[in-house]
């Protein structure tokens, strides 16, 4: 088995034993990227020099007998949405093409403190809006299992790089399923922790009340390892939970006794791909075989989840993205040309004696905002900003935003009631396998439905994860999704590990 096919946990053992240096390992991944990423497009930027330098430092420190952090020299890829000092943090948007944060996000700071080697920045849908990573302003990412297909989104680059053996571990963010859905499409393990478990400080906001960073990796144990490194309370994030961080890595191999598993009837309705249906049912049977009790449940408000999500997320996005105004951040339109055209418009209106038109021409400031945003923001992001601005505007607020908040509470209540009866909920991550690239080019609503099974966890703030549980006849991965009550990441990981060990499905890296 080559280095890049091994699990992070195995590599860490070799690093700790001195059988492998971080430099050798980092170089192996850099080679893999060099060889394959031109076709996959998972990375927006790879800083080989900085990564190798960091690896050397860790090797030297280990050689000197110093204490090394929990990630002990393992390479980690980071979604291009988490601020890193001095590194471009573009959110795959032209707007932030030249943005170099003067500070580290808490996640990046924790990765550095855990002695991870920061490999590079992964591609995503612009500002994390989209379900296919085709909405990146710079490049699409392709699914390593089938280059004609999408890797999912918005953390498509983060999932694809792990699937393609270009990084053992990567950080994604999940606002409506953006870690779990691409993990399912790429056949890797991905977790959205409880809202507030991982700090949002330095995570460029899409929808603040839903965004959550989380780990993506090849195995459940590796997911536990990466979560261990990034979880914890952060006083700089008021929404961060002040709860102790359990030892995920120590607990992950302990099976759960007398597990009560909830199966939600709404997850198996119309629209579910038959191959996904049978793979998920096989997974449920594997749990049953290990002594789990299966309980049929209903989450009656889950059918409103996508609609609710597509009111709340755009509302918050319209506000969070207002700062990209051309005055303070990101791209400003070419002012000289803008002022000249403004003057020409004024002159034309004056000559035509059209007072109304004259009155309607922007001031220079308004035109600067309008034109800068218009030029630098992509169509999907614009669509959501407009949706949000509309839903928050006077006269519509109660009907949309406030109503959505009420439904959001009902969705959470459904889960609270369900978790009185079961320890965990199990079902599909997505309704089908990865779609073809370009499939949703003219069908934004179709793309929104990709989030059908994943958005509820974000609306309810629950931890949830996706792990591979099968493949279609054509060889595309199928994901199994687990939901747990708040702060029960440990339970999720242990249950996921139980499935992994059942032998029903052996996940593998794809061959490129």
Partner 1 sequence: MYTTVIGLEVHVQLATKSKLFCGCSTAYGAEPNTQTCPVCIGMPGSLPVMNEEAVALAIETGLALNLQIAKFTKWDRKQYFYPDLPKGYQISQYDLPITHDGWLEIEDPKGAFEPKKIRILRAHLEEDAGKSLHDESAGKGDTLIDLNRTGTPLLEIVSEPDLRSSAEAKAYLTELRLLLTYLGVSDCNMQEGSLRVDANVNLHIPSDAAANDDNAQDGKIATPIVEIKNMNSFRAVERAIDYEADRQYREWKETGRRLGQSPKQTRGWDDAAGVTRAQRSKEESSDYRYFPDPDLAPVVISAEVVAKVRERLIELPADLRKRLVADYGLSLYDADVIVNQGRPTVDYYLTVADGSGDAKSSANWLTQDVLRTLKNRELAIEEFSIPAERLSNFVKKIGAGELPSARGREVFELMADDGLEVDAAMDKLGIAQVDDSEIESLCQELLDANPKVVADVQGGKQQAIGALIGQAKKKNPNIDPGKFRATCLALIAKG
* By CB under 8 A, residue 86 contacts partner 1: no
Instruction: For residues 169 and 119, give the distance between their C-alpha atoms in angstroms, rounded to a whole number.
Output: 10
* By CB under 8 A, residue 208 contacts partner 1: yes
Catalytic residue among 105, 136, 150, 154: 154
Name which of 54 and 89 has its Cβ closer to partner 1.
89
Instruction: For residues 50 and 208, give the distance between their C-alpha atoms in angstroms, rounded to a whole number.
Output: 31
* By CB under 8 A, residue 361 contacts partner 1: no
How many residues touch partner 1 under the rule CB under 8 A: the total is 44
* By CB under 8 A, residue 96 contacts partner 1: yes
Q: Cβ of residue 363: shortest distance to partner 1, in angstroms?
A: 8
Given 39, 45, 53, 236, the residue binding partner 1 (CB under 8 A): 236
Q: Cβ of residue 203: shortest distance to partner 1, in angstroms?
A: 6
* By CB under 8 A, residue 392 contacts partner 1: yes
Q: Cβ of residue 231: shortest distance to partner 1, in angstroms?
A: 17
Nearest to 121 by CA among 98, 151, 90, 93: 90
Given 18, 235, 438, 446, the residue binding partner 1 (CB under 8 A): 235
Contact segment (CB under 8 A) with partner 1 among 7-15, 38-46, 100-108, 147-155 equals 100-108
DSSP-derived secondary structure for 474-505: T--EEEEEEE-STT-HHHHHHHHHHHHHHSS-
Q: Cβ of residue 481: shortest distance to partner 1, in angstroms?
A: 25
Q: Cβ of residue 16: shortest distance to partner 1, in angstroms?
A: 33
Contact segment (CB under 8 A) with partner 1 among 152-160, 164-172, 196-204, 467-475 equals 196-204
Q: 129 in helix, strand or coil?
A: coil
Whether 253 and 221 have beta carbons less than 8 Å apart is answered as yes
Instruction: For residues 352 and 330, give the distance between their C-alpha atoms in angstroms, rounded to a whole number.
Output: 37
Whether 56 and 23 have beta carbons less than 8 Å apart is answered as yes
Given 397, 416, 417, 501, the residue binding partner 1 (CB under 8 A): 397
Report the sign of the C-alpha dihedral through residues 4, 10, 12, 16, in that order.
negative
Contact segment (CB under 8 A) with partner 1 among 6-14, 215-223, 361-369, 468-476 equals 361-369
Whether 503 and 265 have beta carbons less than 8 Å apart is answered as no
* By CB under 8 A, residue 365 contacts partner 1: yes
Q: Cβ of residue 208: shortest distance to partner 1, in angstroms?
A: 4
Contact segment (CB under 8 A) with partner 1 among 159-167, 176-184, 233-241, 346-354 equals 233-241
Residue 116 CA from chain centroid, whole number: 19
Given 101, 153, 190, 433, the residue binding partner 1 (CB under 8 A): 101
* By CB under 8 A, residue 200 contacts partner 1: yes
Name which of 373 and 494 has its Cβ closer to partner 1.
373
249 to 288, contacts with partner 1 by CB under 8 A? none
Name which of 184 and 317 has its Cβ closer to partner 1.
317
- 507 as an active site residue: the answer is no
Q: Edge-to-edge, what's the strand order for the sheet holding 213-217?
A: 43-46, 117-122, 75-79, 169-173, 213-217, 189-192, 464-471, 477-483, 424-428, 260-264, 293-297
Q: Cβ of residue 320: shortest distance to partner 1, in angstroms?
A: 9
Q: Cβ of residue 207: shortest distance to partner 1, in angstroms?
A: 8
* By CB under 8 A, residue 401 contacts partner 1: yes
- 150 as an active site residue: the answer is no
Name which of 337 and 402 has its Cβ closer to partner 1.
402
Contact segment (CB under 8 A) with partner 1 among 135-143, 222-230, 272-280, 385-393 equals 385-393
Q: 261 in helix, strand or coil?
A: strand
Given 99, 145, 185, 419, the residue binding partner 1 (CB under 8 A): 99
Instruction: For residues 148 and 151, give the distance between their C-alpha atoms in angstroms, rounded to a whole number.
Output: 10
Given 102, 274, 353, 503, the residue binding partner 1 (CB under 8 A): 102
Burial class of 2 by CB neighbour count within 10 A (0 to 12, 13 to 18, 19+): exposed
Nearest to 177 by CA among 372, 462, 386: 462
Instruction: For residues 105 and 408, give the distance between their C-alpha atoms in angstroms, rounded to a whole number.
Output: 28
300, two tokens: 């009656």
* By CB under 8 A, residue 201 contacts partner 1: yes
Buried b (16+ CB within 10 A) or exposed e, 225-253: bbbbbbbbebeebeebbeeebbebbeebe
Instruction: For residues 122 and 66, give the distance between their C-alpha atoms in angstroms, rounded to a whole number.
Output: 31
Place of tokens 């949703």: 440
H helical segments located in 18-76 = 22-40, 48-63
* By CB under 8 A, residue 316 contacts partner 1: yes
Catalytic residue among 178, 199, 456, 466: 178
Q: 438 in helix, strand or coil?
A: coil
What mask of x and - would describe binding to partner 1 in positions 318 to 347, judged by CB under 8 A? Answer: xx-xxx-x-xxx------------------
Distances in Å between the alpha carbon of 188 and those of 102, 158, 191, 224, 469? 33, 10, 10, 14, 10
Q: Cβ of residue 166: shortest distance to partner 1, in angstroms?
A: 25
- 154 as an active site residue: the answer is yes
Instruction: For residues 64 and 68, give the distance between their C-alpha atoms in angstroms, rounded to a whole number.
Output: 11
DSSP annotation of 450 reads G
Whether 97 and 324 have beta carbons less than 8 Å apart is answered as no
Residue 293 CA from chain centroid, whole number: 31
Catalytic residue among 7, 79, 199, 318: 79
Interacting residues with partner 1 (CB under 8 A): 82-83, 89, 91, 96, 99, 101-103, 105, 200-205, 207-209, 235-239, 315-316, 318-319, 321-323, 325, 327-329, 365-366, 369, 389, 392-394, 397, 401
Active site residues: 79, 154, 178
């Amino acid at each position: 088995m080559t280095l890049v096919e091994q699990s992070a946990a195995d590599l860490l053992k070799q690093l700790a034993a001195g059988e492998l240096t971080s430099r050798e390992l980092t170089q192996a991944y850099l080679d893999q990227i060099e060889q394959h990423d031109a076709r996959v497009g998972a990375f927006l930027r790879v800083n080989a020099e900085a990564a190798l330098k960091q690896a050397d430092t860790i090797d030297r420190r280990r050689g000197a007998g110093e204490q090394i952090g929990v990630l002990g020299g393992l390479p980690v890829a980071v979604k291009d949405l988490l601020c890193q000092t001095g590194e471009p943090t573009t959110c795959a948007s032209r707007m932030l093409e030249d943005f170099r944060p003067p500070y580290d996000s808490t996640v990046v700071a924790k990765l550095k403190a855990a002695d991870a080697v920061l490999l590079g920045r992964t591609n995503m849908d612009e500002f994390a809006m989209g379900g296919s990573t085709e909405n990146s302003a710079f490049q699409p990412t392709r699914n390593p299992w089938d280059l004609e297909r999408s890797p999912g989104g918005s953390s498509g680059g983060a999932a694809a790089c792990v699937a393609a053996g270009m990084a053992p571990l990567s950080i994604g963010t999940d606002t409506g399923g953006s870690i779990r859905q691409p993990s399912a499409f790429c056949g890797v393990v991905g977790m959205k922790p409880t809202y507030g478990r991982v700090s949002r400080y330095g995570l460029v906001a899409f929808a603040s009340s839903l965004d959550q960073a989380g780990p993506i990796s090849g195995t459940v144990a590796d997911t536990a390892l990466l979560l261990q490194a990034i979880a914890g309370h952060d006083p700089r994030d008021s929404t961060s939970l002040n709860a102790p961080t359990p030892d995920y890595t120590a607990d992950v191999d302990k099976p759960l006794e007398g597990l009560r598993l909830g199966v939600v009837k709404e997850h198996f309705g119309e629209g579910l791909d038959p191959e996904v249906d049978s793979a998920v049912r096989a997974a449920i049977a594997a749990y049953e075989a290990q002594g789990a009790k299966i309980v049929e449940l209903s989450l009656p408000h889950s059918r409103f989840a996508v609609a609710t999500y597509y009111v709340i997320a755009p509302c918050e996005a319209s506000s969070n993205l207002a700062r990209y105004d051309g005055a303070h951040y990101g791209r400003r339109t070419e002012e000289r040309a803008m002022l000249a055209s403004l003057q020409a418009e004024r002159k034309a209106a004056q000559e035509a004696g059209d007072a109304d038109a004259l009155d309607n021409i922007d001031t220079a400031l308004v035109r600067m905002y309008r034109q800068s945003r218009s030029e630098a923001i992509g169509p999907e992001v614009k669509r959501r900003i407009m949706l949000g601005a509309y839903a928050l505007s006077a006269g519509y607020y109660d009907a949309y935003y406030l109503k959505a908040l009420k439904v959001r509470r009902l969705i959470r209540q459904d889960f609270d009631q369900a978790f009185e009866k079961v320890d965990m909920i199990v079902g599909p991550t997505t309704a089908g396998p990865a779609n073809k690239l370009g499939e949703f080019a003219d069908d934004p609503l179709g793309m929104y439905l990709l989030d059908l099974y994943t958005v509820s966890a974000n609306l309810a703030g629950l931890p949830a994860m996706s792990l591979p549980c099968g493949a279609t006849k054509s060889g595309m991965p199928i994901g199994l999704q687990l939901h747990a009550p708040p702060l029960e990441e440990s339970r999720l990981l242990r249950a996921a590990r139980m499935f992994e060990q059942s032998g029903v499905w052996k996940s593998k890296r794809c061959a490129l």
